Amino acid sequence: MGGPGSGTLRYRNRPLWRGRYSWSVTFPVVGMVGGGQLARMTHEAGIPLGIRFKLLSDTPQDSAAQVVGDVVIGDYRDLDTLREFAKGCDVITFDHEHVPTEHLRALEADGIPVRPGPDALVHAQDKGVMRAKLDAIGVPSPRHRIVRDVDDVAAFAAEGDGFPVILKTVRGGYDGKGVWFVRSAEEAEDPFRAGVPVLAEEKVDFVRELAANVVRSPHGQAVAYPVVESQQVDGVCDTVIAPAPGISDELALEAEALALRIAKELGVVGHLAVELFETVTAEGDHRILVNELAMRPHNSGHWTQDGAITSQFANHVRAVLDLPLGDPRPRATWTVMANVLGGDYPDMYSAYLHCMARDPQLKIHMYGKDVKPGRKVGHVNTYGDDLDDVLERARHAAGYLRGTITE
Amino acid sequence: MGGPGSGTLRYRNRPLWRGRYSWSVTFPVVGMVGGGQLARMTHEAGIPLGIRFKLLSDTPQDSAAQVVGDVVIGDYRDLDTLREFAKGCDVITFDHEHVPTEHLRALEADGIPVRPGPDALVHAQDKGVMRAKLDAIGVPSPRHRIVRDVDDVAAFAAEGDGFPVILKTVRGGYDGKGVWFVRSAEEAEDPFRAGVPVLAEEKVDFVRELAANVVRSPHGQAVAYPVVESQQVDGVCDTVIAPAPGISDELALEAEALALRIAKELGVVGHLAVELFETVTAEGDHRILVNELAMRPHNSGHWTQDGAITSQFANHVRAVLDLPLGDPRPRATWTVMANVLGGDYPDMYSAYLHCMARDPQLKIHMYGKDVKPGRKVGHVNTYGDDLDDVLERARHAAGYLRGTITE
């Protein structure tokens, strides 16, 4: 934490401390648990702030571990490892939601600020807790309840419009994992095999998916990004359009206000992504229902790296440090993010030649991950005034990198 | 360089290699010599490209060494150290111009691509070589010649308009170091004490300083950033305004074309900054003269991080890898960069509260350096449509961080 010196450490003519000091001691250390691409991009966003970034990563090959200077290799499920890691940190934050809630409480008891804290994060860890809380504060969700077994699933279906229903393990799912689309009671056996609680939800007849991203700081300042449209393919986010095309001002404001209220009621610190279903009633009214919550930088916010004045990563860092938040407004009329999934061609680097030459404005964000079919290994951002053009450029680049477009 | 696998490594259906392979082997390693802020910001810009970044740094506390994952601590003046460092790199580039030219030739002889190469870089290392080359290709410079001693300085002055004249050691100077403003022959002794060749230049009666920044790749693609105005205080860059206010299209084009021609004639690969004097003749014609060259990302291009579609750092990386270059055009009407110099207050972090709260659009870039009076420790960028507002915001933030503004 900086080299030693001696003298009087002052702030604005007010002596803070006299004697020996480290000049850089006042720049805090942000510890991030998890070495995935979200940590990689948070590190990138933290470099300009001059903060120290420390990473707890499973392996030295993890996405973030490749590019961070101060890396501890260890298992986040082990409390001793977490405690040792936390010793050098001024605040702990997360690349994922998988750290056991009780470990987070132990770190807090040790006096380490954990942001978001366990009382907030549990809502992103446990879908049962999340639904109960959203019900309690009156946030609209799909019809849902915890189900005990296959017969209970059939009962849940009968209580509503029948099958299909969605089954989710309450913990551990993401990107379509831990989620089952069930057309009959016979198909409902798999989710129960793991022996963890299962949440049943109605299949919502939505017109599209939206995401409302907000960032909140410990002293309660919060900012809302424009609501985006999120297009999924096979349960995985494929394309994000910012702002959501054609959304009414009323619905956009309602979604932003809803996300800000959830952040406040749940005590979130940092970035909160609220995934939404947009539905249309028989009368033609547009409504929103909350699908999922994520308390960390989120795929639906990657467009902010090149499309917003302050990125979700920079604002997440500012929030966990309780610094004033940056302006979340867009810099372009339209920004499109397209995920790059692994395909049959492992050599994505050679594809840069075509992609960069075709579109000198293209923004490539690769994660340093080995290519495996279907795996998210990067994304691209494009922006401009013509949505069709911006969409085409993003989809072409993502497809070419994946290998599904070859010309 | 990625984990091993086995099978057929293909590119676009063409088998490249069969057997065991590393998936990530095709992503190149960029080795950068020098651990200063330029390397720090180049690493930041390289992260999204998924390239591997390797750093040769003097100490682990250097600006870039704090944030880079793969750091070698060593002395760039030692050829064995350079050779060992270069073994793991696909290309070598530089944070500064101080690596001995003969070492660069040795690396090239070893088969390591050095970009910019020694034949180009020598023009940024040796002001005598630079002036001779610019004369040879007909680029306008201040009147100049190598001077032998104090008497020769008096002769040089007498050949023109007399004193004052500028004296520069041909190697090793930057930010006003190695440069003397000499009002008489008596004042001309200091530059000769070091025993290195001294270049005399006329004191140009300029109206302002400009900088033309270009990036050139090995296969000859080149892009030009808008010409900027660079305001110096005590020989150190203080503020950069992009584009240069009030510049005529003709003069801007002339400066861009001049920089592109210099890059081509000198065989530059990577970023080239051409520092210019703008003069006005008795007839009112605006002219430009070349002051200095820098072959690396440059302070006059820091505005591109937040103000251009592709930053100078991203384009430098793309150039040294011979990737197609990114769009250099501005994203805002005006962008202003203001350097943050060290002042009396070592605690710049606490000043973030005021700066970020006052201006949520402010972009802070700190280098992780200990604060010393007058030392460049960071910069801020602001952008917008109203130049007065953009200038005021940048100057306020830089002054507040330094401690010269306290309200």
ipTM here: 0.92
Alpha carbon of B73 to those of A273, B78, B84: distances in Å?
A: 41, 12, 11
pLDDT at B10: 40
Reference A334, options A380, A393, A390; nearest CA is A390
Q: With pLDDT > 90 as the criterion, what percentage of chain B qualifies?
A: 86
Whole-number pLDDT of residue A175: 59
- Shortest CA distance from A302: residue in chain B: B48
Which residues 334-373 in chain A show a CB within 8 A of chain B?
A: 344-350, 352-353, 356-357, 360-368, 370-371
CB of B327 within 8 Å of any CB in chain A?
Answer: yes
pLDDT digits (tens, 9 = 90+) for B351-405: 999 999 999 999 999 999 999 999 999 999 999 999 999 999 999 999 999 999 8
* B92-113 average pLDDT score: 96
- Sequence ranges of the binding site of B for ATP: 127, 168, 201-204, 209, 291-292
Q: Which domains does chain A have, with CATH numbers?
A: 4-114 (3.40.50.20), 143-202 (3.30.1490.20), 208-402 (3.30.470.20)
CB contact under 8 Å between B9 and A346, yes or no, is: yes
| Residue B121, pLDDT above cutoff 60 | yes
Are A48 and B49 within 8 A, CB to CB?
no
Inter-chain contact B356–A326, Cβ cutoff 8 Å?
yes
Contact (CB<8Å) A323/B49: no
Alpha carbon separation from A329 to A227, B108, B332 (Å, rounded): 11, 48, 14
Q: Do A345 and B44 touch (CB under 8 A)?
A: no
What pLDDT was estimated at residue B174? 59
pLDDT of residue A21: 39
Nearest to A12 among B2, B345, B356 (CB): B345
What residue numbers of B does the annotated binding site cover? 127, 168, 201-204, 209, 291-292
Q: B307, B335 in Cβ contact below 8 A?
A: yes
For chain B, percent of residues with pLDDT exceeding 70: 93
Answer yes or no: do B360 and A325 touch at CB < 8 A: yes
Instruction: Count the residues in chain A.
Output: 407
d(CA B80, CA B17): 33
Q: Does B193 score more than 90 pLDDT?
A: no
Which pLDDT belongs to residue B176?
63
Average pLDDT rounded to a whole number, residues B68-93: 96
Segments of chain A with pLDDT less than 50: 1-25
Cα→Cα distances B206→A4, B142, B238, B288, Å? 44, 11, 17, 9
Which of B67, B350, B361 lies closest to A26 in CB terms? B350
pLDDT in tens, A307-328: 999 999 999 999 999 999 999 9
Report how far residue A257's alpha carbon sits from residue A251's, in angstroms, rounded to the nearest whole number.
10
Q: Is A209 assigned a ligand-binding role in the annotation?
A: yes
> What is the structure's pLDDT at B173?
64
* B111 interface with A at CB cutoff 8 Å: no
Q: Does B54 touch chain A (CB under 8 A)?
A: no
Please report residues of B whose CB lies closer than 8 A to that of A356: 318, 323-326
Determine the pLDDT at residue A347. Answer: 84
Instruction: Please report the beta strands in A246-371, taking only residues with DSSP state E, as ranges in sequence order.
Output: 270-280, 286-294, 334-341, 363-366
pLDDT at residue B7, as a whole number: 41
Q: Which helix (H) or strand (E) holds B173?
A: none
Q: How far apart are CA A73 and CA A2, in angstroms?
A: 23
Q: Distance (Å, rounded) from C-alpha B17 to C-alpha B20? A: 9
Residue A99: how many CB atoms within 10 A of its CB?
23
Q: What is the C-alpha to C-alpha distance for residues A277 and A286, in angstroms, rounded to an integer? A: 10
> Residue A99 to residues A96, A121, A217, A269: CA-CA distances in angstroms?
8, 10, 21, 16
pLDDT score at A176: 63
Q: List the one residue out of A371, A364, A369, A367 whose CA is nearest residue A398.
A: A364
Indicate yes or no: CB of B370 within 8 angstroms of CB of A2: yes
Q: Which of residues 138-197 of A touch B (CB under 8 A)?
A: none
Pairs of CB atoms within 8 A across A/B: 177
Phi, then psi, of A138 in degrees rounded to 5: 75, 25
CB contact under 8 A, A10 and B345: yes
pLDDT in tens, B151-183: 999 999 999 999 999 999 998 765 567 899 999
Binding site annotation covers A369? no
Helix axes B101-109, B79-86, angle to 10 degrees: 40
Q: Share the mean pLDDT of chain B.
A: 92
Q: Is B28 in the A-facing interface, judged by CB distances under 8 Å?
A: yes
Which candidate in A24, A53, A329, A348 is best for mutational testing of the B interface (most B CBs within 10 A)?
Answer: A24
Which of the 8 DSSP states describes residue B361? T
Residue A360 to residue B11, Cβ atoms within 8 A: no
Sheet containing B198-202: order of strands: B144-147, B198-202, B165-169, B179-182
